[in-house]
Amino acid sequence: MKFHKLKPVETDRLQEGVIYYRRWTKFEKVFSVVGFLLLFTGVGIVSDTILLAMYLYCMDKVDVSPVGEPEKRLLIKKHEWDHYRHVNGIGYWHQHQPRRIKAQVSHQ
């Protein structure tokens, strides 16, 4: 059996003057469901802590869309998204809410 080296995933770039919000990726949805189901096992809190640590370690790309264009999805590096959030004053808990982000960025 011969192994082939995987090519890195292509990432997009954010455009100046466009307001973006973060989308839930399939990876995040699966981790959320698994984490919720593990809560009801005998070692729920311990396994969820381990799962959360794995998620934070593995997460290096995020899915974003321009506000008003949910069909257009961009895959960007997480540190680029964190910089965009910091520059535009978007809170961690509000990054998935397009209307709140648009109102917040428009007032700056």
Query: Is residue 1 in some structural domain?
Result: no
Quote the number of domains for the chain.
1
Any domain includes 93: yes
Q: Domain of 76?
A: 20-106
The overall pTM is greater than 0.85: no
pLDDT given for residue 36 in this prediction: 79
pLDDT in tens, 38-85: 777 777 777 778 877 877 777 788 899 999 898 999 999 989 999 999
| HEC per residue, the chain | CCCCCCCCCCCCCCCCCCCEEEECCHHHHHHHHHHHHHCCCCCHHHHHHHHHHHHHHHCCEEEEEECCCCCCCEEEEHHHHHHHHHHHCCCHHHCCCHHHHHHHHHCC
Residue 4, in any domain of the structure: no
